[in-house]
């Protein structure tokens, strides 16, 4: 991605997170970036395309990170811990994306439905790890989609914690706390 496209993308993400999708205009994005509308339209055909690109890239980042970090792990608990650590890192590094994720999942507009498709795919990645854990007898038998949804839902809880906390957040310490609170509840 070239520098101008990245700047448009990052600016739009920041504005979508701060003001919401509807309240953010193409004019505001171009003014903040300092480019003409034509430049924006050279890289993206519409505000919707910027949004879709943002969602696709953010969800690809999550799924690819999980695949890379878990491909050599055999223990489902270690894989789930890796998922939790990745989610924590993404929340700390890409706070604006998580704000958009949490704000856009609930609506009924086509863009919300488009976004949910990616969230459901992400849940399926985690569900697969849980299914393997259930098959191996390490995790309790149960609704693996619900369990995976809980793990994805932790992003909301962590975001709330991050907003409230005034102290430096240790990813390792928080991951250990989450593993203690959540994963021990599903271990057989």
Q: Which two tokens stand for residue 121?
A: 């795919």
Q: What per-residue confidence (pLDDT) applies to 135?
A: 96
Place of tokens 């004019």: 27
Distances (CA, A) of 172 to 24, 36, 65: 36, 44, 17
Tell me how far apart the terminal alpha carbons of the chain are, to the nearest angstrom.
46
Q: What per-residue confidence (pLDDT) applies to 183?
A: 67
Nearest CA to 149 out of 132, 126, 128 is that of: 126
The residues pairing with 19 across neighbouring beta strands, listed in sequence order, are none
28, with CB counted inside 10 A (0-12, 13-18, 19+), is middle
Judged by DSSP in three states, 187 sits in: strand
- Distance in angstroms (rounded) separating the CA atoms of residues 61 and 165: 26
Q: What per-residue confidence (pLDDT) applies to 44?
A: 93
Q: What per-residue confidence (pLDDT) applies to 162?
A: 81
- Per-position pLDDT tens, the chain of length 188: 788 898 998 899 899 989 988 899 999 999 999 999 999 999 999 999 998 888 888 888 888 999 999 999 999 989 999 998 888 888 888 888 888 877 878 888 888 888 889 899 999 999 999 999 999 999 989 999 999 999 888 877 888 888 888 778 788 888 888 887 776 665 65
The residues pairing with 139 across neighbouring beta strands, listed in sequence order, are 187
Q: What per-residue confidence (pLDDT) applies to 38?
A: 94
Nearest CA to 104 out of 115, 95, 94 is that of: 115
- Distance in angstroms (rounded) separating the CA atoms of residues 149 and 100: 18
Q: What per-residue confidence (pLDDT) applies to 19?
A: 92
Report all structural domains of the chain as residue ranges with CATH numbers, in order of start.
1-45 (1.10.10.60), 48-185 (1.10.357.10)
- Distance in angstroms (rounded) separating the CA atoms of residues 49 and 9: 10
């Amino acid at each position: 991605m070239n520098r101008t496209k990245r700047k448009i993308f990052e600016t739009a993400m920041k504005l979508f997170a701060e003001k919401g999708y509807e309240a953010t205009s193409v004019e505001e994005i171009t003014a903040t970036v300092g480019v003409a509308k034509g430049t924006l339209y050279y890289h993206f055909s519409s505000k919707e395309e910027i949004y879709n690109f943002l969602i696709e890239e953010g969800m690809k980042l999550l799924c690819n990170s999980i695949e890379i970090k878990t491909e050599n792990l055999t223990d489902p608990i270690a894989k789930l811990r890796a998922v939790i650590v990745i989610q924590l890192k993404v929340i700390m590094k890409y706070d604006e994306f998580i704000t958009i994720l949490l704000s856009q999942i609930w609506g009924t507009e086509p863009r919300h439905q488009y976004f949910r498709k990616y969230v459901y795919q992400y849940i399926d990645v985690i569900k697969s790890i849980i299914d393997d854990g259930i098959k191996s007898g390490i995790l309790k038998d149960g609704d693996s989609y619900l369990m995976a949804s809980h793990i994805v839902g932790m992003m909301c809880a962590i975001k709330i914690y991050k907003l409230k906390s005034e102290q430096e957040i240790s990813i390792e310490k928080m991951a250990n706390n989450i593993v203690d609170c959540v994963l021990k509840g599903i271990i057989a």
